[in-house]
Structure 1
Amino acid sequence: MQFWVVLAVVYLPSFQAAAWHHRKALYPSAYRIKRGAYSLINPTFQRSSEDISLLFEILLSGMQIRGEEHTLLIPDEELASLRSVKKLEVICEDVLPKRLSDIRRLTAELAQRLEPLSWPDFERTVLTLVYTSQTLAQITDQHQRELWTNALMQLFQAVQKDLRPT
């Protein structure tokens, strides 16, 4: 009897830590939206096939995600004025990681995941991949360029891994 109690005391914290690790949010800022609107907590842009087509059209129009204030730039004024684009703005400005250290933390967590990404996490990972590739195109310092390239490749591998059939 005492053996089982000792075994439970020793292994229970590790099981709890493992369970917590799998429930840990990949994008914790999605639950801390600065704008204060309850409807924007854990925002997701794509809810229908029309939303998917709209995002594709926005990306093709030359959408840029930048690291500073007002990070989302959509050159097509008509697309930019759509009401549904508001959630995309919130995701790009408040949810996506912009610092290399945050992106590297994300890629490390993505590499350890065994289960498929949730739809919102997949969407955010693809948008982070877009942001990383756009940032990489502007970097001239060779060392920084290598670091951002590595992050880009890890994000790409995470998306590719998630798309593979299980």
Structure 2
Amino acid sequence: MMQCWALLTFVYLSIYLAATQHHRKALYPSAYRIKRGTFSLINPTFQGSVEDVNLLFEILLAGLQIEGEEHTMLIPDEELASLRSVQKLEVICDDVLPKGLSDIRRLTAQLAQRRQPLSWQDFERTVLTLVYTTQTLARLGNQQQRQAWTDAVIQLFKAIQKDLISS
């Protein structure tokens, strides 16, 4: 009888640990890795104030382009691009956002399983990932690739919508 309780306790603790680690798993693990030659930030975020939110909106309206694997971010407005705070946005776009379809699918699967609202850092990154994914979709010609990226765009949109509704 004592062995049965010990076994049940062990199983319960194992399940509990697995569940708590699942909820703590980072949606954007690369945000916690420092890369050489980048603006040395751990867990970089762009929006720290209302002014930053407005600036991000201006940058998006100006036509922010996030390119793929070559890690380039382009802001057509030279004045906006020259702002010092844009360096953080470059680090996020170049080093934090997932660029491969498999990484984006992993992200959307994790977002679909979430029961709690996103942190504001993860919300910001998810919106920027949606921007990147939409821009990538617009450049594709292959119908199969377009369908796969369209599914990713829809899943990211649903995750953002769900987060906005639950907040």
Q: Does structure 2 retain, via aligned residues, the 8 Å contact 1:65–1:131?
A: yes
Tell me, what secondary structure is at the counterpart of 1:164?
A: helix
Tell me, what secondary structure is at the counterpart of 2:124?
A: helix
Letter in 2 for 1:48: S
Q: Matches of residues 51-66 of structure 1 in structure 2 within 5 Å?
A: 51-66=52-67
Deviation at 1:39, TM superposition (A): 5.0
Partner of 1:46: 47
Q: Matches of residues 18-29 of structure 1 in structure 2 within 5 Å?
A: 18-29=19-30
Corresponding position: 1:120 with 2:125 = no
Deviation at 1:155, TM superposition (A): 0.2
Corresponding position: 1:73 with 2:74 = yes
Unmatched 5+ residue regions in structure 2?
none
Number of equivalenced pairs: 166
Deviation at 1:36, TM superposition (A): 6.3
Q: Does structure 1 retain, via aligned residues, the 8 Å contact 2:71–2:95?
A: no
Deviations 1:40-77 (A, max 9, x none): 11000000000000000000101100013342100011
Identity of aligned residues (%): 73
Moved over 3 A (4+): 35-39
Q: Greater shift after overlay, 65-74 or 156-165?
A: 65-74
| TM-score, normalised via structure 1 length | 0.95
Partner of 1:6: 7
Deviations 1:95-124 (A, max 9, x none): 000000000000000000000000100000
Q: Does structure 2 retain, via aligned residues, the 8 Å contact 1:33–1:94?
A: no
Letter in 1 for 2:133: T
Q: Does structure 1 retain, via aligned residues, the 8 Å contact 2:104–2:152?
A: yes
Q: Greater shift after overlay, 66-75 or 76-85?
A: 66-75
Unmatched 5+ residue regions in structure 1?
none
Alpha-carbon distance change, 55 to 38 in structure 1, aligned in 2, over 3 angstroms: closer
Partner of 1:148: 149
Taking only aligned residues, the RMSD between alpha carbons, in angstroms, comes to 1.4
Letter in 1 for 2:55: L
Partner of 1:161: 162
Q: Within 2, Cα distance between the matches of 1:36 and 1:62?
A: 26
Deviations 1:18-54 (A, max 9, x none): 1100000000000013136785110000000000000
Tell me, what secondary structure is at the counterpart of 2:89?
A: helix
Deviation at 1:3, TM superposition (A): 3.0
